[in-house]
Amino acid sequence: MHISGQTRVFMVIGDPVAQVRAPVLFNRIFAQHDIDAVLVPAHVPAGRAASFAREVLGSGSIAGLWATVPHKPALLPALFGIDRHGRRAGSVNAVRRAADGTLEGALFDGLGLVGALAHHGIALAGRRVLLLGAGGAGAAIAAALLDTPIAQLSIHDLGDRAERLVERLQVEVCGPRLQAASADPADHDLIIQATPLGMRPEDPLPLDVARIAPGTQVFDILMKSATTPLMRACAARGIEAHPGFEMLVQQVPAYLEFFGLPEVARAMRSDLSGVRQVIAA
């Protein structure tokens, strides 16, 4: 990799940030397509994301920010413009400087989920969806699902998180029925697991797998391993279930397009196999 005074620098910010895979993936893409750019990690302590974004994006060399936990909602005060999904979910995972110097943000997690479902041949038209988890990932997924032809979106979480998310999203609903619900999977034909349950060996399953009806499809966004406890429990009952890493794969073209690389984005959309190999490794 050759770094010069003209190299465009991107940063991925998080707290912590040592776990991020984006630099490995996107720097490979930049090199393969002869793009004079580099993506580097930056550890930004919680509470400093907005001020960090304002400061570094004031530089003509820093072209944009990727954001991971816990900075996705914390960046909003720094932004002048936010895309539809970011506004609905109350968070962003990409920030760029506009021509007038203001900062713009976008959220691609939900788009990644919808793209992953399509990749696995999971149709959304007329589906009754149960979304488990109303945190950052769940809100992003819900924001994107409202733009699809599902029939119903039921959201479950502990406390009043699901009710608060439904209340926030309700103002934009003109298609699917939207409601807070229990974790009972009966009467749903697509289940999206977006809670942290399954990250630790002692975690309980997020729902009663015995209550899942035959023919229901399950997508578990956990990316700790290709096979999650929920997926294993579903397999034991013959329920089709898929892992979450494809959700990251499907976001790659959106990032490239947002940061002014539409030709590379088109090339990626035509063949994402190399991206899958890096993310699944």
Say how far apart CA 174 and CA 87 lie, in whole Å.
17
Per the rule left: phi > 0, alpha: psi between -120 and 50, beta: everything else, 187 is: left
Q: Which of 194-229 are b and which e, b meaning 16 or more Cβ less than 10 Å from the residue's Cβ? A: bbebbeeeeeebbbebeebeeebbbbbbbbeeeebb
Measure the CA–CA gap between 219 and 59, rounded to whole angstroms. 40
Indicate which residue of 71, 72, 88, 156 is catalytic: 72
Q: Encoding tokens for residue 280?
A: 């699944």
Please enumerate in sequence order all residues whose Cβ is within 8 A of that of 207, keeping only pairs 6 or more positions apart, or say none: 130, 132, 183, 184, 185, 191, 193, 230
Greatest alpha-carbon pair distance for the chain in Å reads 60
Output phi, psi for 179, to 5 deg: -155, 150
Quickly count: other Cβ atoms within 10 Å of residue 95's Cβ: 30
In three-state secondary structure terms, 60 is coil
Respond yes or no: is residue 224 known to be catalytic: no
Residues annotated catalytic, as ranges: 72
